[in-house]
Chains A and B, each alone.
Chain A
Amino acid sequence: MAKEYRTMRNDVTLPYQWALGKTWSRFFDGLKDGRIQGTKCAGCGRVYVPARSFCPVCFTDTTQWVDVKPEGKILTWTLVREKYLGQVQEPPYVVALIQLDGSDCGFSHFIGGFDLSDAGQLKRKLKTGAKVKAVWSPVRNADIRDITCFVPVE
C-alpha cells in the first residue's frame, strides 16, 4: 500500500492459546485415529459434526457420541481464486459444505484431488449432491487438517 499522503504502519501481531475443551479435544483425537465423530441430541435427534457439547437448537447437553462416515454429499461449494493476506493455501482451491452420511448438518472443508484448472472436469465432478470422501493426511496433529481434503467419488 504505497500512499501519497503520510501514514504509519500499525501491524498487530498477537499470540494465542485456545482451549478446545472436552468435546472438541475428543473430536480431534478421533480425527487423529481416522474417525469422524459427531454428537447426537437426545431431544431432536440431530447429529452434529464437528461434535458439540450442546445442541445448537435445543440448548441441551449432548451426551451421545456417534461415528459418522468419512464420506458424504456436497451441499454447496466455491472455487477460490482470490488471493489475500494470510490465506490458508495458495489459490485456486475449493471450499465446500459437505453433509457426511449419518449427520444432519454441513461440514466445512476443502475438496481437491484433481486438476482445478480444467473447467470441464470441475463442473463434472463438483455437482451439488455428488459423493465425496475424506482423504486422510499422512501426518496427523489432531486438528482439522488431519483430513487433507475430500475427493469426489466416481
Chain B
Amino acid sequence: MQRVAITHVAQSSGMESKESLMDFTYRVNKEILDKAGLKRREVGCIVAGSADIFHSGLSCANAFDWDGIGAFLKEGSRAEESAFSFIYGCMRILSGRYETVLVTALVKGSENPDNDPITSFYGDPFYLRPVGVNESVVAAMQMRQYLERYGVTEEQCAKVAVKNLGNALFNPYADRKRRVSLEDVMASERVYDPLKALECAPKSDGVVAVLLASEERAKTLSKKPVWLSGYGCSMDHFHPGDRDLLKGQLPAAAQRAYKMAGIDDPGKQIDVAEVCEPYAFQELLWCEHLGFCGEGQGGRWIDSGMPLMDGALPVNPSGGVLATNPYPARGLYRIAEAALQIKEEAGEHQVGKKVRTALAHSTHGFGGQCHSVVILSA
C-alpha cells in the first residue's frame, strides 16, 4: 500500500494581517515551496481549504484562492473545511497518481463578521435560524448538559482556557496572547451562560500550508517526513435536538482513525494531541471521546495535569483554537502543529517528551456536528 507523508509545513501568524487575502495566501505558499526547494510548476496537485461564508464576501472561494495557492493551470480542487482538504490531498497521493500535493487553508477572520452571525447561516431558515441558534448557543447548551450530567465544574472547564492561552505565549504564530488566570476566565462575561467570554475562541486570520508526498518522494524531500497513519471522520444529525449532545460522532471518527493506525490504547500510544476546542469545555469532552480519559472524567483529567505541556499527554501545546481560530483553516493548523511536534520543529512550544505519534482533530458545525481525526507518526 502507498504511504503519504507531510514533508513541510508553513503557517502565518493568526494575528490580524494588513495584507489582502490574496497576498497573505501567497506569502505562506511561497515560503513552503522555498523550504521544500520546489517550483510551483513541479507540484503535482494543489488543494485549497476555505469556506465561502468565511471568505470575505467572495462566493466560490476557490476562484479567488487559485492564484495565491499557486494553482494556475495545475490539477487541483478545494474542500470547504481544511481537514477535508488535507485528507483529500492524501487521497490524491494514495491513489498513486501524484507524488506531491500542496494543501493550503486560508481565511482572514478580521475581514468577516463575528463567528456567531456567520455560524447562524449553518441553520436552516425555518426552524433553527429564527430562534437564534448558532454555534455558541449550541455549545453553551452542550456545556450545561456536560456540567449537569457528570458533575464537571465550571472551574475545571475554565482551566482549559488558562492552559491553552498559557501555551500560546510560547507560540509565535498564536493570535490571542495573554496570560489569564482561572479568576480572569471565571470573571469574564457569561456571554452564553454558562459559557464565558474567555472560554470562546476569537476569530483569527490564518494561512497554513502542508506539503504532502508519496513515500519515495518524501524521503528525498525531507529528512524527517511525518507519516499519515490513521484517519477517521463522522457526521452527526443536523438538528441538535435529534442528538445526545454529549455522545456525538467523535468516538466513531476516532475509532476509525485508531483502527487504521493500529491504536488500541490511545491514552498511552498517543504522545501529543492538537484538539479543536472553539469552546473550552469541548476540549475535555473531546478528550473523553478520543479515549484519553473515561466518560465524565474530563474534569479530573485536567485536574490531573495530564494534558499540560509537561504532562503525560499534552493537549494543544500550540494554544489550540482558543488562542488562534482561523475558522475553516483551524483543522489544518492542528495537523500542521501535530506534524511540527513529531519533527521536533515546534520551537518554544515543543513538548518535553519524545513525540512518535500525534493526534490532530478538527470539528465544525453545531456542537461538533462533524469531526475528523488524523493520526500522524514518525
- Which A residues lie within 8 Å of B111 (CB)? 7, 10
* B263 close to chain A: CB less than 8 A: no
Give the segment of A59-67, A89-97, A130-138 that binds chain B. Answer: A89-97
Closest CB of chain B to A120's CB: distance in Å? 14
Interface size of B in residues (CB-CB distance below 8 Å):
41
State the CA gap A75–B237 with chains docked (Å): 17
A78 near B126: Cβ-Cβ < 8 Å: no
Closest CB of chain A to B137's CB: distance in Å? 5
- Which A residues lie within 8 Å of B120 (CB)? 86
Give the segment of B2-10, B239-247, B290-298, B329-337 that binds chain A. Answer: B239-247
A10 near B56: Cβ-Cβ < 8 Å: yes
* Chain B residue, CB-CB nearest to A129: B148
- Which B residues lie within 8 Å of A56 (CB)? 237-239, 242
If A76-B142, A110-B132 touch, does A81 touch B190 (CB 8 Å cutoff)? yes
Determine which of A81, A95, A144 lies in contact with B127 in the assembled complex, contact meaning CB atoms within 8 Å: A144
Contact with B along A49-91 (1 / 0, CB 8 A): 0100000100000000000000000011111111011111100
Give the segment of B27-35, B70-78, B191-199, B267-275 that binds chain A. Answer: B191-199
* B322 close to chain A: CB less than 8 A: no
State the CA gap A79–B195 with chains docked (Å): 9
* Chain A residue, CB-CB nearest to B137: A95
A84 near B140: Cβ-Cβ < 8 Å: no
Closest CB of chain B to A91's CB: distance in Å? 9
B148 near A128: Cβ-Cβ < 8 Å: yes
* B130 close to chain A: CB less than 8 A: yes
Closest CB of chain A to B110's CB: distance in Å? 8
A108 near B239: Cβ-Cβ < 8 Å: yes
Determine which of A16, A89, A110 lies in contact with B125 in the assembled complex, contact meaning CB atoms within 8 Å: A16
* A12 close to chain B: CB less than 8 A: yes
B57 near A97: Cβ-Cβ < 8 Å: no
B126 near A97: Cβ-Cβ < 8 Å: no
State the CA gap A18–B128 with chains docked (Å): 14
- Which A residues lie within 8 Å of B144 (CB)? 76-78, 128
Q: Which residues of B contact A (CB under 8 A)?
A: 18, 56-58, 111, 113-114, 116-117, 120, 125-133, 136-137, 140-142, 144-145, 148, 189-195, 237-242, 245
